[in-house]
Amino acid sequence: MPILEDAAKALVNFNDTGLGLAEHSHRSELATKIINEAKADLSTFLEIPDDYEVLFMQGGGSGQFAATAYNFAGAWVARKHKELGSDDGSIEQLKSAVKDLKIDYIITGGWSQKAAAEAERLFGPEHVNIVADSRKLNAGKFGIIPDEDTWNLSRDSAMVYYCDNETVHGVEFPGFPKRLEPGPDGPVVVADMSSNILSRKIPIRNFSAIFFGAQNNLGSTGITVVVIKKSFLAQPSAALLRQLALPIPPRALEYETIAKNNSLYNTLSIFEYACSCQYILELIHISSVYIAGRVLKKLLLQHPSRVQGQQTLSEQKAQLIYAALAAHPEIYHIIPHKSVRSRMNICFRIEGGDAAEEAFLKQGTAIGLTGLKGHRDLRGIRASNYNSIPLEGAAKLANYIGTFASQRGH
């Protein structure tokens, strides 16, 4: 709440400048300072190495489904082109090599499924390799992560994508996959961490890139953050991609362009209003970056051990809720397998079906426990245990879980 109150004041009059934060030019020294401070604080909190770049973009995680496919396929082409040389004969060799271009996807829930589908739409199914699909081993449903021994990884993929935490189905990778640990020839690993970023320590060097929307754990909607190893920024020319019959990414999704412009290639608007003459004043994304920066400064003060401190707190909150559910197995059925249960999104069903779940939701709302309804595709109950939820909030939900079970005679 203090961060939102601070942001509200800044939107009206930032640092006594007489202008609201969103009214300052995104080309101003003030805007650059806000961006650079947010990048530095994120790098400190997550211990991001110097050879990685932090980008602020727009389009959410869904936009990154396209951006990662475009950029890492492009980086693959750039590497192959360099290996083969730049003479005329190398183009024919490159065309032949591109036939074997693969983008790998590990499908463990709705978001990774959508990421793979987007890559197929852009590049064609012949360039997409499904490494594993948990539904094939779980009676057609998500809720597990396939054993790594069953993964069918491509030999030289442009990237291997996975979603670290699937919000809809409550599935979270318990740690970095052993099969993807770095070696002399890769693999190139890209992870979607939109819903569990800042909640646990990340072995950044194991990744070529991670991306995440700000809205769950970092700040307000409007920005998406990409952390990418700088060596993957270089892209082939549009002319070369045309010769190879590969799609050309929009500039606004091109990591190299965003990096060269310090995340200010375009004006990313999240606040706007219209006056009586229907003139639209687009206000800038700096407000959203500012809020993210304030969240990071609070986290750095709150946790001297940085992200490790938040990890301890996240695990403590999740354990409270899961223990309360496990204490009443006759009433509650936790959806995902125990080995992959998310700390961020706790999904379960209640004995008695829709009527019992409606009663749970209604009684919960009456005591201030809102937003517990499950995703429309899965239904049931989903407790989103993001970083903004205090320990007291998790304890309140755990107590209510026990109280509701007692009311039903268990």
For position 271, what pLDDT does the model report? 32
For position 219, what pLDDT does the model report? 63
288 within a domain of the structure (yes/no): no
What confidence tens digit (pLDDT) does each residue in 48-58 have? 999 999 999 98
pLDDT at 31 over 80: no
pTM over 0.85: yes
How far is the CA of 43 from the CAs of 33, 63, 306, in angstroms? 15, 23, 11
Are 244 and 142 within one domain?
yes
For position 298, what pLDDT does the model report? 83
How many domains does the structure of the chain reveal?
2
Confidence of residue 410 (pLDDT cuts 50, 70, 90): low
Pairing of strands 189-192, 280-284: unpaired
Domain span holding position 315: 306-407
297 within a domain of the structure (yes/no): no
How far is the CA of 352 from the CAs of 94, 143, 326, 332, 404, in angstroms? 60, 21, 17, 10, 13
Question: For position 190, which CATH number holds?
Answer: 3.40.640.10
Question: For position 389, which CATH number holds?
Answer: 3.90.1150.10
For position 3, what pLDDT does the model report? 47
For position 185, what pLDDT does the model report? 80
- Per-residue pLDDT, averaged over 243-272, amounts to 84
Confidence of residue 377 (pLDDT cuts 50, 70, 90): confident
Q: In the chain, what percentage of residues exceed pLDDT 90?
A: 71
Measured at the alpha carbon of residue 81, what is the angle toward residues 76 and 85, in degrees to the nearest 5? 155
294 within a domain of the structure (yes/no): no
18 within a domain of the structure (yes/no): no
For position 64, what pLDDT does the model report? 97
For position 9, what pLDDT does the model report? 56
> Is the distance from CB of 237 to CB of 62 less than 8 angstroms?
no
> Is the distance from CB of 212 to CB of 61 less than 8 angstroms?
yes
Q: Which residue has the tokens 């998406």?
A: 224
